[in-house]
Structure 1
């Protein structure tokens, strides 16, 4: 079984001490296979591909978890380095790999849990009309 060009990330991910559902979530994030508005738009005509919270741009995986104002607030409140929040990346997997190379295992597991909570907060906003404040996520 090969890991491809991101071998370091995938091997480290499966060794993190966190819930299996969070590791699977991060695997899906890395492969950008979660149902983002930009993905749904490519399948379904007439679907809005903008950010459901702010509508300002195309909702990509990076936007939802890192670049959306709500996600930036959550990451900033959590004390994550601004260099990782504001640095530009083309793909989510590159961002995750950079983080994995710098953070220790405990910090990375905490960050993955934070990203999972950001994703759930996004979904609660879309499907239930509820959104938590950044400091509560």
Structure 2
């Protein structure tokens, strides 16, 4: 798959009005960073790589999303005309991109088939996790209900007013601070502090992104680091910020403070006219999800203030971390 074609596909996905968690999921799916048993085993985790739904088959993305009985039933229920286990010699990435381009070329941004295709992928992943973590074996009825619920979530997301994601604060902020502020309120204090960082070198296409969150109430910490493909350190930094916000939003936090050592990311969030083209779509998603919080402040800090996330990102880039499920 040629890099220009891959870039085109991600421009399409980043331009779609779909939930940010879907975009993060697709990013991880494309980069083979989901916590499938095959990926966990490849990372040195002492675990069988067998598919939870069909033993003796390795749970690769190709198997889970195309060849597994769970997948074939899900695609039949989707009514998209996809026979996922045909032409099994085609790689999963080529198969994924071919269908995304097919539906986009038919319908553009306004069609229903591309969101339903993405919703079916998400449904397969959620049903697989229900089997692994809750021992709920998904049959046709469960898959059908889950897909309906996922599509309803998408419809609800589309029904939200599309507000301008201009930061509330245009001034330089307090002395020594550079901030971009989003949300419905400028006043208040955060429930959560999140430090984010990316780790990238120009001699490898792999990057590590990481975040470490600490609650204000009881000082408990939680973090995540993953390995992705990235063209630049700047993209890795922006993706770390987006991944942290998606997690915080999913945990129902309403007031969050994000600390990054990237001045370019914060300046670009404050003033879209200055943003680098390479991270335009990622910054757009950060603004979009930032507006969904009551109070969301992204602040430029010194490297020492994101040291935990920095160390975690380096370990992720080097493949020293196990994968974490969405």
- Whether the TM-score (by the shorter chain) exceeds 0.5 is yes
Secondary structure at the counterpart of residue 86 of structure 1: coil
Per the alignment, residue 124 of structure 2 pairs with: 118
Deviations 1:79-107 (A, max 9, x none): 12245552325543211210012113431
d(CA) in 2 for partners of 1:49 and 1:95?
22
Per the alignment, residue 136 of structure 1 pairs with: 145
Which 5+ residue runs of structure 1 have no aligned equivalent?
A: none
Q: Which has the higher strand share?
A: 2
Secondary structure at the counterpart of residue 38 of structure 2: helix
Matches within 5 A, 1:68-83: 68-83=68-83
8 A Cα contact 2:75 2:84, kept in partner: no
RMSD after superposition: 2.0
Per the alignment, residue 24 of structure 2 pairs with: 24
Deviations 1:11-58 (A, max 9, x none): 111112211101111111111111111111122354111101111311
Q: Does 1:4 align with 2:3?
A: yes
Per the alignment, residue 43 of structure 1 pairs with: 43
Which 5+ residue runs of structure 2 have no aligned equivalent?
A: 147-326
Per the alignment, residue 93 of structure 2 pairs with: 93
TM-score, length of structure 1 as denominator length? 0.86
8 A Cα contact 2:38 2:50, kept in partner: yes
TM-score, length of structure 2 as denominator length? 0.39
8 A Cα contact 1:9 1:100, kept in partner: yes
Greater RCO (CA < 8 Å, at least 6 residues apart): 1
Deviates more, 1:16-25 or 1:89-98: 89-98
Secondary structure at the counterpart of residue 117 of structure 2: helix
